[in-house]
Amino acid sequence: MAFSKRILCLLMVSFLSNCFDFQLFAAPNEGTTESVKPSEEDILCANAEFINQMTAQQIQAYYSRRHKIDGFNGCVLVAKDGKPLYSGAYGYANIAGHDTLSTETSFQLASVTKTFTSAGILKLVDNGQLSLDDSIQKFFPEFPYHGITVKLLLSHRTGLPDYILWDQHFIGEGVQYLTNQSMLDLLITKHPQVRAKPDRLFIYCNTNYALLALIIEKVSGISYKEYMQQNIFNPLGMCNTFICTLQDTASIHCGATCYEARRWREWKWAFSDGVVGDKGIYSSVEDMLKWDNALKEGKVLSAEMLEDAYKPHNIDRYSFAKDRRRNYGYGWRMIKQPDGSNLIYHNGNWHGCNNVFCRNLKQGYTVIVLGNKENGANYLTQPVWDIIARVKNDQNVAASEQEQ
């Protein structure tokens, strides 16, 4: 929806009038009670609310259009300073049962799971139970690859082979699914070739975070699932967030069904769905906002630890050589903005679930998109950021014209 500056100006005047019920054009001394002029604080508050409403309307229009044009099937939540500006659900959680989505529906987060695994590890570091410089052999003495530390696992600088790329022949014809432990056993017994030397360059690798989940278990003495539930999901009131793997499907329902791009064909579970830490967490857009706020408010990690997590850790000349704006911290991707700050985010892609968890910490905006029907356009959130910037700019221009 496009608005001219003059229309925006009139809308703002109307909005302020309705907010404060003051008579803009009343003549004095007509026997009526004199209207109370709103304070500067009231006007600023109403101005912010006006911006929020206009932003929400245009974001809704954008995703409604996407739902019609490219079949977007999922949920969206855009927040400012921890409070929702807009939230919406489009399409089905399960097409066969005509089960429609809601903002409480749980989706397979795919690699957005890594933000939780990273926090689980860093929480143990904060508590003095673990060091970022600990060698992986401290936890698994038989691990055949040396020179790998916890911090290299977190920042994808290990050069390890990615278990996601293994085939049925490699894992064993009779194996129904991998677990984190059986994945580790294969690394030890079959010793597949590395892709790079440790700490040489960034190579995104799911094995890193599957190993971090095992380290959480080793240090905490409980399962990864129990640790996340007890230390993150339950304390933060994330009621629609849980871990679900291939071995769980017989006893629990694992959130929204994942579909291929065409004809609503369900994705089939694969042997790699038994591994967690790199994926495997399910959550809703409402719960992801709780996660966002908890991180900002220091409920999970110390400010110093968060600062380290959001810091670029791949500054060698090989990593991100084609695009120096991008980098990776500890469980977080980042892209540098024109003002020098970093947009902190992580995407997810697994079995038709295409997700975005994107945070502009400087301006206080968060964009969450969770989809369960394969659609690469879900990652194109720039139109949302453009809407936010355009509404703020147009409103500022309109307010300036009004003052003149």
Q: How is 174-216 classified by DSSP, letter by letter?
A: T-----HHHHHHHHHHH-PPPSS-TTSS----HHHHHHHHHHH
Q: At 246, is the pLDDT very low, low, confident or very high (cuts 50, 70, 90)?
A: confident
Would you say how long the chain is, in residues? 404
Question: Residue 40: what pLDDT?
Answer: 59
Q: At 1, is the pLDDT very low, low, confident or very high (cuts 50, 70, 90)?
A: very low
Give the residue with greater pLDDT, 56 vs 401: 56
Lowest mean pLDDT among 15-19, 78-82, 162-166: 15-19
- Quickly count: other Cβ atoms within 10 Å of residue 28's Cβ: 6
CB 146 within 8 A of CB 137: yes
With 60 as the cut, is the pLDDT of residue 402 above it?
A: no
With 70 as the cut, is the pLDDT of residue 269 above it?
A: yes
Question: Residue 245: what pLDDT?
Answer: 84
Question: Residue 276: what pLDDT?
Answer: 97
With 60 as the cut, is the pLDDT of residue 39 above it?
A: yes
CB 275 within 8 A of CB 99: no
Give the residue with greater pLDDT, 391 vs 134: 134
Q: At 29, is the pLDDT very low, low, confident or very high (cuts 50, 70, 90)?
A: very low
With 50 as the cut, is the pLDDT of residue 24 above it?
A: no
Question: Which tens digits make up the pLDDT trace of 371-394?
Answer: 999 999 999 999 999 999 998 786
Question: Residue 404: what pLDDT?
Answer: 52
> Can you tell me the mean pLDDT for 359-376?
97
> What's the chain's average pLDDT?
89
First to last CA, the chain: 26
Question: Residue 37: what pLDDT?
Answer: 61
Domain ranges (residues) in the chain: 73-374
Residue 141 DSSP one-character state: T
Residue 111 DSSP one-character state: G
Question: Residue 326: what pLDDT?
Answer: 96
With 60 as the cut, is the pLDDT of residue 35 above it?
A: no
Q: What percent of the chain has pLDDT over 90?
A: 77
Lowest mean pLDDT among 50-54, 77-81, 124-128, 310-314: 50-54
Q: How far apart are CA 113 and CA 52, in angstroms?
A: 30
With 90 as the cut, is the pLDDT of residue 340 above it?
A: no
Lowest mean pLDDT among 69-78, 110-119, 173-182, 274-283: 173-182
- Nearest alpha carbon to residue 370 among 89, 94, 100: 89
Question: Which tens digits make up the pLDDT trace of 169-219?
Answer: 999 998 989 999 999 999 999 999 999 999 999 999 999 999 999 999 999
CATH number of 73-374: 3.40.710.10
With 90 as the cut, is the pLDDT of residue 118 above it?
A: yes
